[in-house]
Amino acid sequence: MSEETSTPETGAVATDGSAPATDGRKAAVADIEEAMKDVVDPELGINVVDLGLVYGVHVDDENVATLDMTLTSAACPLTDVIEDQARQALTTGPGGGLVDDIRINWVWLPPWGPDKITDEGRDQLRSLGFNV
């Protein structure tokens, strides 16, 4: 099986097409990324995917997702809130969730910048009055 990752430079996600976690199979990266849209940055009110805070996703053979994530600021006091939301989004729900557990690898390089925000995220920020 190929490793599933995304690159911080492009945000592109490669997946091996594995199915959601049922019958002992690994969750698909695309499904994890979609579920992470339910995780909202508490300060901005925009999901972490569209803000460009998710740099990469890997699912191991035990169906544990490791998320490479950053924050808009290294001094952000809300890492616990985001981690709790991510755990809720990925490990609960019908059939027990997409993955069995998560780990968040907080990374600071490359640093986050407005260039990482998706077009949808920019639209959401503009509707809140931000100039992006």
pLDDT single digits (tens) 48-98: 999 999 999 999 999 999 999 999 888 888 899 999 999 999 999 877 799
Pick from 17-21, 22-26, 70-74, 84-88 the range whose average pLDDT is largest.
84-88
Strand, helix or coil at 13? Answer: strand
In angstroms, the CA 128 to CA 28 distance is 32
Q: Which of the pair, 18 or 110, is modelled with greater confidence?
A: 110
Residue 26 pLDDT class (50, 70, 90 cuts) = confident
**Chain mean position to CA 77:** 18
Determine the Cα angle at 122 with ends 118 and 127, to 5°.
Answer: 150
Find the distance separating the first CA and the last CA of the chain, reported in whole Å.
Answer: 39
